[in-house]
Amino acid sequence: MTNQKFQRQGNDIYTSVTIPFTEAILGTKVTVKTLSKTVSLSVPAGTQPGAILRLNGQGLAVTGTSGDLFVEIKVTLPKTLTDQQRKKIAGWE
């Protein structure tokens, strides 16, 4: 993940991370920067592109109330496949 950007809505913060499609299918842990630290976020197996995961209390703290950090999961697909990879994927149908 590079150049992670943040958007604010009230006390909540929004960002995104990009993972390969294999990690979206199998599940993974990703490193996410919050406003104050770096945390590990579990991405469950079968996560769909565009899914939004929440990190409670990791948003902006204003007047004693902390918002949440919402992380959109973006998924990359390979541009090319080997013949072996193509056969394996075709076997899923």
User: 61, 54 in Cβ contact below 8 A?
Assistant: no
Distance CA 75, CA 62 (A): 33
* Average confidence score pLDDT of the chain: 92
pTM for this structure?
0.86
Name the architecture of domain 7-90.
Sandwich (2.60)
Query: What average pLDDT does the segment 33-56 reach?
Result: 95
pLDDT of 2 strictly over 70: no
Q: Which tens digits make up the pLDDT trace of 55-78? A: 999 999 888 788 999 999 999 999
